[in-house]
Amino acid sequence: MSYEWRYSAVWRPGEGKEYLWVVSDVDSFKQKDDEYFAKGFRIAAIDRHWEHHVAVWHPGTGEQHWWSGIDSDEFKTKDAEYFAKGLRLVALDTDGGDFLGVWRSGSGGQHWQSGMSLQHFHDLDNYYFAKGYRLAAIDIDHDGYVAAVWRPGTGAQHWWYGNSYDDFKVNDSQQSAKGMRLELFDRRETHWMGVWKSGPGPYHWWTGITMDEFTQKETGYISQGLRLCAVDLIRIVVQPPPEKVEKALVLRIYIPSVVGVDSAFFTLSGPDGTAFSQAADNLTHTQGVLKLSSGYNPVGPWQVRCQMIFHAPTEQNVNIDNTFTNSWASGNSATFTYSLEHYIPEGGLGWQWVLVKV
């Protein structure tokens, strides 16, 4: 089983240089952050899955600290320590019990909570909203629970959480029409979450894109005056290509001798009249056409079946959606579809189509 990384991102109007980087371990991320910090850049967006980190740096000043892979008790200790020094939590990620956090210079109140059910999050967000706080960071943990940070803010805010990409798009369209803009985003397996806030200007978002697609879109949006405000990454399972089936097909019609009909009275072809051997190169959900030769009019009903050819034919189950129940006139044909997903077993010689009277 193999895996690939897929990325999600949101772009909003912005200016200045921007750095985007993906690293596969904490030490590499620290080296990159030290490099950008020395150039006057600070972390503006970040996400992590295991030790795989994706982050964005924007021009900034002031103190900054971050920790990744620490447990909840250590995270609480670090947060209290940095808050007392005038730093505020600007990014939060939870991943199976460990935490990532980014603290930057700031002022005013701050609240955060992890491990929330959807109802708990709903109630807590309403409570903080009424006190003049707005969502500053969100995260979905591996178990579907929510973590969030609230900071002082004003204006309208809308959030949505669900398990449907289509529903997320509908919500985004509705909020955009109301003058709201997507600002925070997170995705975990089949769970989706977004936060929209009131604001002007265009925005764009993509999800499930490769790194090559990500960098291509990043270049295009920067040229349009947009900058990243949210990033996310997930790991997906890549299904291996289907095993190639050896073309050991015997493509012919076999008429049992008890019927007393020679197979030459029938032809078998693909739906477009091509040779059936070509139509059967893909052995899944394919159509075939069975045509009665001129001058012969057998009485049905008939059924097309498939046999595995060993040294003696052994009938196998195969999905056939047609049983031919008509009496055909000369030259008439009937179309059937089949789904043949068997591999040729050891000692097997191939397949043959069989027309039998039922």
Q: Which domains does the chain carry?
A: 2-238 (no CATH), 249-357 (2.60.40)
Label residues 289-324 b or e (16+ Cβ within 10 Å = b): bbbbeeeeebeeebbbbbbbbeeeeeeeebebeeeb
| pLDDT of the residue at 285 | 35
Residue 197: partners with Cβ closer than 8 Å, 6 or more residues away: 134, 155, 156, 157, 158, 180, 181, 183
| pLDDT of the residue at 329 | 43
| pLDDT of the residue at 232 | 97
Length of the chain: 358
| pLDDT of the residue at 291 | 54
| pLDDT of the residue at 326 | 38
Contact (Cβ atoms closer than 8 angstroms) between residue 309 and residue 348: yes
| pLDDT of the residue at 190 | 87
pLDDT tens per residue across all 358 residues of the chain = 688 999 999 999 999 999 999 998 999 999 999 999 999 999 999 999 888 999 999 999 999 999 999 999 999 999 999 999 999 999 999 988 899 999 999 999 999 999 999 999 999 999 999 999 999 999 999 889 999 999 999 999 999 999 999 999 999 999 999 999 999 999 998 899 999 999 999 999 999 999 999 999 999 999 999 999 999 999 988 877 655 433 323 333 333 333 333 344 444 444 444 444 433 333 333 445 555 444 444 455 444 444 443 333 333 333 333 333 333 344 445 544 443 333 333 344 344 444 444 4
3-state secondary structure of 198: strand
| pLDDT of the residue at 345 | 38
Distance CA 95, CA 92 (A): 10
Element (H or E) spanning 241, and its range?
Answer: none
Contact (Cβ atoms closer than 8 angstroms) between residue 67 and residue 29: no
Contact (Cβ atoms closer than 8 angstroms) between residue 226 and residue 326: no
Instruction: Specify the pTM.
Output: 0.69
| pLDDT of the residue at 333 | 52
Residue 339: partners with Cβ closer than 8 Å, 6 or more residues away: 284, 285, 318, 319
| pLDDT of the residue at 229 | 98
Which amino acid belongs to residue 52?
Answer: H
3-state secondary structure of 98: strand
Q: Give bridge partners of residue 104 from the DSSP assignment.
A: 64, 88
Picking from 345, 276, 278, the residue whose alpha carbon sits closest to that of residue 311 is 345
